[in-house]
């Protein structure tokens, strides 16, 4: 054999491989995991809320009053009961006696389709005094425990319904939102309380005193109106000067003149609240905390508004935080009607001024405003009772009414049925509930995704719902391209440990740039289903990853690769991996299906699929993850194309045969365009307590199609694996 020339020897040394054995874990791997027994879903437990046309809960339904259709097929109702307010008593009556039978692991688990409850705290038309009371009231009622599957949010209602917090079930977040509800500009107390501080609008009177003997006349200008009503506010500390009275009087006149506009604005506010909340799913229980509601007095328009609220499954509970004191609506009504009576009596005055005549001509308008504005709680009561709620006023005890609201939120019918053609394929199955009674409004889930039970709960996050819906579309979206790959590892309890990697170029993500803050944001989500040969889901996974980085790092982010690696444990066989990748900032998505083959467990010595390493991250994942070791996790590089300046590594795991006494050896060979350029062998370090030897070697770099071939030997046993990658030609080379 000829010795290599000097130039070839130099090239050979440049391609030499450096072995880097990974640290051996000090603790053994978990060996107590058990195989999952898939029993399927035998029954669907559907929660149905039934109300009458006025929003009141119907409690006397029978099973024959409802019809359930799933995917257009009528289902047989197997169980039917009213739950919620009588939950404990009903559960005791219907509790089955213990009987011998199959174990819980062998029984089919019902799929509960819980009703969605939304609790909306809406602050409306509150003066500074009532704001303090409203905050105290909201803090008191939020100490109560919310029903299961209930989310709450805080809003303020003016010309717009403004959310102060997102929907959440965390009490501390809700209490913090309540404290921030009135962080804006406070109302002017004099402007807010002008209706009860003044009895009459400002008017100018001219008094003429004629002295016939002296043939002279004395003309006196007199300004009346705007006086503070001691009956309504006996301890009001406000100015009593003529100018202050005049200002208040002008405001009182404006209030009469603009009463219809004010009522229209208040009606539009409630209409806006109903329109916006109607877009939300599930049952909406609205706590309208308001100091009063002045309407236009149009019963038809108000009736249509309540009908829309009922159609949207919305119940309004009106809370007036005004406590019992000297200031009451009755006293305000007496003053307003006394003002109208005074105007009526003044019509006998033949020497009335022009302004007095103007006031007399608008007597009917003043009477209408007096009647409509004398009881600002009347509209609140009508709105609440018309949607199945109630009014809480003239009290400082709000916890008991709030507990009643929670009881009504829990009241629902539980209907169980067994789909005959159920296949757990992850597709959406639609549900339609019909009733034979035309006077009822029925609310329930409109469908569910047919998925197997997941440990820790079956609730789906918003991005998971979107991803599953996209996977069910035909054709699937393809707004951008992403790559995926499969890596197989060792065996645990007869199942293969595998890793699925998904890679998206950073330039494909939409970024929201904030030049003022010097930052940029991106948001990516992934939803995946693993289906067996029969098309049923055996595993599902998802991530939701928002990114925020400095604006000057945007080019580096766009040049990088966004990668997610999912570790799974699967029995040998053929599978289909359906994956949806969401660019949430840009509203784009792509979905793909990948066919994979999980090989049977090897007998004896084995080597995992070698993978190019993009980076190593700190992680809290346990030792059951084949990509993790001692608090670190390997992130694979899916795309085999490399640049000619980076120096990646290759990660793999060797599994020695515990039944052989020989020490395992390792041979690493480097090929370029099919030609072997380098080889290096070494003895493997001791295995960790699980029997695995994780390894990482530097990937040699030469322009062309490169291959790193891994061969493990133990006596006569041999196991191999390889990884290929492409290194581009260098643009310029120095001699």
Instruction: Tell me what pLDDT residue 532 has.
Output: 94
Alpha-carbon distance of 581 to 481, in angstroms, equals: 9
pLDDT at 7 over 70: no
Same CATH topology for 460-601 and 623-735? yes
pLDDT at 735 over 50: no
Q: Give the residue-averaged pLDDT of 64-85.
A: 87
Alpha-carbon distance of 109 to 95, in angstroms, equals: 17
pLDDT at 714 over 90: yes
CATH homologous superfamily, domain 117-191+257-409: von Willebrand factor, type A domain (3.40.50.410)
Q: List CB contacts of 566: < 8 A, sequence separation 6 or more.
A: 499, 500, 501, 502, 528, 541
What pLDDT digit, counting tens, does each position of 600-633 carry?
988 889 999 999 998 888 877 666 788 987 778 8
Tell me which of 232-236, 430-434, 594-598, 684-688 is least confident: 232-236
Could you tell me which of 448, 455, 571 has the C-alpha nearest to residue 109? 455
Instruction: Tell me what pLDDT residue 362 has.
Output: 55
Residue bearing the bigger pLDDT, 665 or 88: 665
Tell me which of 77-86, 312-321, 469-478 is least confident: 77-86
* Secondary-structure class of domain 460-601 per CATH: mainly beta
Q: Break the chain into its structural domains and give their ranges.
A: 117-191+257-409, 460-601, 623-735
What pLDDT digit, counting tens, does each position of 290-302 carry?
887 777 667 788 8
Q: Give the residue-averaged pLDDT of 403-431.
A: 87
Q: How far is CA 443 from CA 120, 169, 435, 560, 728, in A?
A: 18, 22, 11, 47, 61
What pLDDT digit, counting tens, does each position of 512-523 carry?
998 888 999 999
> Residue 37: pLDDT band by 50, 70, 90 thresholds?
very low
Alpha-carbon distance of 42 to 54, in angstroms, equals: 37
Instruction: Tell me what pLDDT residue 261 has.
Output: 62
pLDDT at 90 over 80: no
DSSP label at 662? S
Q: What percent of the chain has pLDDT over 90?
A: 28
Alpha-carbon distance of 412 to 408, in angstroms, equals: 9
Instruction: Tell me what pLDDT residue 710 has.
Output: 95
What pLDDT digit, counting tens, does each position of 105-164 carry?
334 456 677 777 889 999 988 888 888 888 888 888 888 888 877 888 899 988 888 888
What pLDDT digit, counting tens, does each position of 640-672 carry?
888 766 778 999 999 999 889 999 999 999 999
pLDDT at 717 over 60: yes
Alpha-carbon distance of 236 to 336, in angstroms, equals: 18
End-to-end CA distance of the chain: 29
> Residue 93: pLDDT band by 50, 70, 90 thresholds?
very low
What pLDDT digit, counting tens, does each position of 327-384 carry?
455 555 555 555 555 555 555 554 555 455 555 555 555 555 555 555 677 888 888 8
Cβ atoms of 294 and 265 within 8 Å: the answer is: no
pLDDT at 525 over 90: yes
**CA dihedral sign, ordered 639, 641, 645, 646:** positive
Q: Angle 417-419-424 (CA atoms, 0-180°, nearest 5)?
A: 125
What pLDDT digit, counting tens, does each position of 566-583 carry?
999 999 999 999 999 999
Choose the most confident range, by mean pLDDT, from 102-106, 108-112, 435-439: 435-439
* In the block, residue with structure tokens 């791997």: 29
Instruction: Tell me what pLDDT residue 719 has.
Output: 94
> Residue 96: pLDDT band by 50, 70, 90 thresholds?
very low
Residue bearing the bigger pLDDT, 534 or 249: 534
pLDDT at 698 over 80: yes
Question: How many Cα atoms within 13 Å fall on the side-chain side of residue 16?
Answer: 6
State which H helix or E strand residue 674 sits in.
none
| The CATH classification of domain 623-735, taken from the options 3.40.190.10, 3.40.50.1820, 3.40.50.261, 2.60.40.10 | 2.60.40.10
Alpha-carbon distance of 497 to 492, in angstroms, equals: 7
Could you tell me which of 544, 541, 610 has the C-alpha nearest to residue 570? 541
Bond from prior residue into 287 cis (ω within 30 degrees of 0): no
Instruction: Tell me what pLDDT residue 608 has.
Output: 95
> Residue 212: pLDDT band by 50, 70, 90 thresholds?
low
> Residue 723: pLDDT band by 50, 70, 90 thresholds?
very high
DSSP 254-275: HHHHTHHHHHHHHHHHHHHHHH
What is the pLDDT of the chain when averaged over all its residues?
A: 77
């Amino acid at each position: 054999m000829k010795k290599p020339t000097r130039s070839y020897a130099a090239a050979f040394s440049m391609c030499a491989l450096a072995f880097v054995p990974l640290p051996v874990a000090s603790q053994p791997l978990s060996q107590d995991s058990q195989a999952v027994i898939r029993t399927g879903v035998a029954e669907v437990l559907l929660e149905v809320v039934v109300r009458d046309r006025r929003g009141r809960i119907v409690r006397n339904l029978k099973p024959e009053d409802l019809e359930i259709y799933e995917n257009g097929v009528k289902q047989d109702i197997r169980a039917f009961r009213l739950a919620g307010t009588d939950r404990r008593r009903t559960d005791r009556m219907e509790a089955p006696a213990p009987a011998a039978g199959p174990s819980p692991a062998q029984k089919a688990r019902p799929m509960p389709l819980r009703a969605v409850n939304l609790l909306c705290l809406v602050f409306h038309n509150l003066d500074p005094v009532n704001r303090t009371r409203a905050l105290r009231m909201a803090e008191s009622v939020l100490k109560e425990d919310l029903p299961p599957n209930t989310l709450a949010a805080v809003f303020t209602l003016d010309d717009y319904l403004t959310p102060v917090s997102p929907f959440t079930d965390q009490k501390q977040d809700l209490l913090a939102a309540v404290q921030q509800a009135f962080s804006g500009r406070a109302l002017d107390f004099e402007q807010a309380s002008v209706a009860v501080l003044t009895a009459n609008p400002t008017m100018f009177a001219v008094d003429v005193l004629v002295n016939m003997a002296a043939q002279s006349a004395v003309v006196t200008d007199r300004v009346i109106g705007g006086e503070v009503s001691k009956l309504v506010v006996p301890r009001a500390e406000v100015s009593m000067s003529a100018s202050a009275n005049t200002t208040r009087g002008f405001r009182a006149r404006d209030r009469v003149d603009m009463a219809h506009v004010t009522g229209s604005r208040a009606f539009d506010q409630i209409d806006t609240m109903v329109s916006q909340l109607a877009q939300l799913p599930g049952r909406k229980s609205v706590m309208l905390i308001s100091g009063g509601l002045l309407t236009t007095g149009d019963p038809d328009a108000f009736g249509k508004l309540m009908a829309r609220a009922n159609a949207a499954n919305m119940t309004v509970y009106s809370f007036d935080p005004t406590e019992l004191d000297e200031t009451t609506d009755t006293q305000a009504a007496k003053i307003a009607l006394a003002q109208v009576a005074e105007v009526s009596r003044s019509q006998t005055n033949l020497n009335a001024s022009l302004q007095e005549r103007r006031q007399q001509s608008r007597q009917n308008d003043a009477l209408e405003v007096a009647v409509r504005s004398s009881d600002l709680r009347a509209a609140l009561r009508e709105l609440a009772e018309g949607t199945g709620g109630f009014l809480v006023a003239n009290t400082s005890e709000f916890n008991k009414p709030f507990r009643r609201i929670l009881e009504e939120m829990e009241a629902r019918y539980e209907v169980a049925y067994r789909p005959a053609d159920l296949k757990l394929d992850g597709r959406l199955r639609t549900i339609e509930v019909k009733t034979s009674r035309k006077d009822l409004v029925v609310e329930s889930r409109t469908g569910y995704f047919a998925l197997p039970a997941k440990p820790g709960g079956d609730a789906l996050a918003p991005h998971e719902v979107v991803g599953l819906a996209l996977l069910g579309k035909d054709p699937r979206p393809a707004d951008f391209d992403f790559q995926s790959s499969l890596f197989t590892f060792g065996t645990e309890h007869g199942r293969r440990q595998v890793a699925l990697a998904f890679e998206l170029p950073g330039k494909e993500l939409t970024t929201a740039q904030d030049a003022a803050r010097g930052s940029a944001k991106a948001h990516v989500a992934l939803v995946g289903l693993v289906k067996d040969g029969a098309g049923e889901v055996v595993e599902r996974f998802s991530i939701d990853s928002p990114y925020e980085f400095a604006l000057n790092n945007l080019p580096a982010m766009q040049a990088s690769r966004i990668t997610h690696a999912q570790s799974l444990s699967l029995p040998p066989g053929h599978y289909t991996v359906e994956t949806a990748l969401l660019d949430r900032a840009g509203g784009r998505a792509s979905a793909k299906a990948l066919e994979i083959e999980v090989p049977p467990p090897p007998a004896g010595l084995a080597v995992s699929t070698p993978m190019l390493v993009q980076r190593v991250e700190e992680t809290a994942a346990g030792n059951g993850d084949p990509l993790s070791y001692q608090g670190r996790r390997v992130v694979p590089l899916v795309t085999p194309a490399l640049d000619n300046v980076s120096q990646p590594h290759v990660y793999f795991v060797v599994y020695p045969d515990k039944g052989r006494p020989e020490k395992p050896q390792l041979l690493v060979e480097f090929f370029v365009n099919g030609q072997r350029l380098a080889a290096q062998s070494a003895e493997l370090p001791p295995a960790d307590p699980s029997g695995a030897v994780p390894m990482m070697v530097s990937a040699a770099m030469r322009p062309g199609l490169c291959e790193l071939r891994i061969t493990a030997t133990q006596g006569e046993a041999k196991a191999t694996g390889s990884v290929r990658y492409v290194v581009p030609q260098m643009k310029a080379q120095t001699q």
